[in-house]
Structure formats: C-alpha cells, structure tokens
Amino acid sequence: MTDKVIPITAVTRSAGPAPRYDGSPLVDTLGRPMRDLRISVTDRCNFRCIYCMPKEVFDADYKFLPHASILSFEEITRLARLFVNLGVKKIRLTGGEPMLRKDLHKLVAMLSPLGADLTLTTNGSTLVKHARALKEAGLDRLTVSLDSLDDATFRAMNDADFPVEKVLDGIAAAEEAGFRQVKVNMVVKRGINDHQVVETARHWRDSGHIVRFIEYMDVGSTNGWRMDEVVPSAEIVRRISEAWPLEPAEANYAGEVAERWRYKDGAGEIGVISSVTQAFCRDCNRMRLSTEGSLYTCLFAHQGHDLKALVRGGASDDAIRDQVAAVWRQRDDRYSEIRTQATPGQKRVEMSYIGG
C-alpha cells in the first residue's frame, strides 16, 4: 500500500456490543428516521472524475480492495433485509462504478423481493450492455451521472477520455429496456462546466427524464475542493428560469435530497442538490454501507462501524440488527450545517469507497 492510499483501518472501527432493539420507531439524536440505505458494491471505477477519483491519487499504483475483502451478494442481501426490517424504504446501489461488479443483475434479483424501492447510480458507460438485464432482475429506477453534453468537457471531467455519446446511448438503451424516467446528475463546477447548465436543461426538457444539478462538494480528502468553485443552486435555478420560467414543486417525500422545480410551460422538471449553500442535514435519513461492510452515518464521515466482522464472525441477525439500531440512535451528523473554511481540510472517507 502506497502513502497515497488511505488505509481502511484508518476510517473504520469495530462495532461493540449494543443494547437490544426494542422495536420502537428508529430515530437518531436529532429525531431523523432511517429511510434510505446506500450500498457501495465496488470501490473500482473506469472514470477518474476530477471531483471524486482524481487521477493523481487514484493512479496505476493505487491498491483497490481484493475481492475477498468485499461483501458477497449473499452478505449484502442479508444486511439489506435487516435494514428493511428496521424501516428502510429505499436501497440505492452505488460504487465506484457499480456495473464493474460482475453479475450485478444477480444481486438486483436477490434484493428486489425485499420490497424496498431499488435504484442504482451509474456513470452509464456500460448501460447499453446491462440495462435490460438490470430491469428484468427487478431494478426500479436508474440515475446516470453525466456532467456535460459537450464531448471535450465531458472527456476532461471524467479524465478517462470517455465519449459522451456512449453515455447517451446507454440512457437510450435504458429507455428501451423500460426505465421510463431516468434521473441525470450533473455536478457543476465553476469554470469547468457551469457554462453548460442552460444547454443541459434544454437537452432534457420535455424528454420525460429529470436532470439534477449538484453543487460541487468537499467529499473525501483528495479532490482539492474550494468554495469559489461552487455554483450555488440558486444561481443555477436563476439561469434556467431566465430561459424557461420555473416554479417550485413539492418534495416527493420527507428528506428528499433534491429540491424540485418544474417548468411553468409543463415541459417537465429539474432538481437541485444544495448541500453546500442550503444544507439539508436536518432531514437527512441516509445510511451508507461501504464495499467491505463498514457502516457510515454521513457522506462526510471519517470513520465507520464494521458490520462485516459481525457477519463473518457468526453473529445472529438479531445481534447485527441491534448494532445497526444502536449506531443510528447515536447518530448526530450534520457536517454541511457546520461546514467552515477549515472543515474541508479534515480527513474524510473517499466517495468512491462509500458511494455518493
């Protein structure tokens, strides 16, 4: 392991004994329920996006997790079932790039019967190949990360010389497979791709799909985040509304990440995710399970709780359930609400390890 690699032992900790879960509604110290579970199925990615896996850190010498260290599909399903029993309503598969995990559709087929809304976030690079199998396995919804429609800008941002046309082909394949409404995520970074906000909105207007503009965030410790590179969501809404008037739309559910805006002419909607300028920590209901089975209570966390040791150590379902419940009830994270100019310099787990 090189000195550029963040040791896993530095960001995880073992879970100790927990009080028995009594079956009462599960809320954290700030009264937030646990609704969403995000599961990272691999720490590998075929892109080197400048805000997530910058090439100068995740280079040819970077040591990804060996297969034996990551959770098996059976282990993931067992844990997911316990989370659903504790109240989770939505499961999102993430990475890295989740479709780099071999036979991912088999995991989808195992998770689908649990009854939670099952969705996946992907860079779309292999959607043409996998969209139909994922849909037939029971995947409910799909989100594709696409930071620019301009090919040169997109290649520069993914830093893998990957063409935008192949991602667009993947979205088309997803439509044909039965994903009628794909969400398209665009991370907006000032001076890099913010000049394409209006054109991106234009492309997806009246398409049936929803584009969501995400403020560039200080996730992890390697992307060189600076506040002056953040384009506030209010500015994005203003720019788009000057071209096609927008009006606010109600959230689909409590704790929804994106703030919804619909076109007044009925041509659909957009979303904005404002974790920097309009922190939504007070409604955050998400738990994250890392590729190797560590549990994180915040995207900006620096340490997790080792569930894999319980799973592989012979712990009962009740014991694991009790541990998860105890972790959530002790949760007090609100990083985005207390962010200062100093906090981005603190060490945090990388997004490619726990998913977005």
Tens of pLDDT, residue by residue over 221-253, are 555 557 778 999 999 999 999 999 999 999 887
Tens of pLDDT, residue by residue over 97-120, are 999 999 999 999 999 999 999 999
- Report the distance separating Cα 347 and Cα 251, nearest Å: 33
Q: Is the pLDDT of residue 220 over 80?
A: no
Q: Which pLDDT score, from 0 to 100, does residue 54 have?
A: 81
Question: Using 50, 70 and 90 to split pLDDT, how confident is the model at 254?
Answer: confident
Q: Which pLDDT score, from 0 to 100, does residue 9 have?
A: 37
Under a CB-based contact definition with an 8 Å cutoff, are residues 324 and 72 in contact?
no
Tens of pLDDT, residue by residue over 20-55, are 999 888 999 999 999 999 999 999 999 998 887 888
Q: Which pLDDT score, from 0 to 100, does residue 2 have?
A: 32
The residue with tokens 């981005």 is 344
Q: What is the DSSP string of 115-161?
A: -SEEEEEE--TTHHHHHHHHHHHT--EEEEE---SSHHHHHHHHTS-
Tens of pLDDT, residue by residue over 130-150, are 999 999 999 999 999 999 999
Tens of pLDDT, residue by residue over 182-211, are 999 999 999 999 999 999 999 999 999 999
Question: Using 50, 70 and 90 to split pLDDT, how confident is the model at 277?
Answer: confident
Question: Using 50, 70 and 90 to split pLDDT, how confident is the model at 345?
Answer: low
Fold of 8-354: TIM Barrel (3.20.20)
- Report the distance separating Cα 160 and Cα 47, nearest Å: 5
Tens of pLDDT, residue by residue over 51-97, are 878 888 788 888 899 999 999 999 999 999 999 999 999 999 999 99
Q: What is the DSSP string of 162-221?
A: --HHHHHHHHHHHHHHT--S-EEEEEEBTTTTGGGHHHHHHHHTTSS-EEEEEE----SS
In degrees, to the nearest 5, what angle opens at C-alpha 103 toward C-alphas 102 and 108? Answer: 125
Ordered by start, the domain boundaries in the chain are 8-354
Q: What is the mean pLDDT of residues 332-349?
A: 61
The DSSP 8-state label assigned to residue 33 in this structure reads B
Q: Report residue 59 as tokens.
A: 């280079």
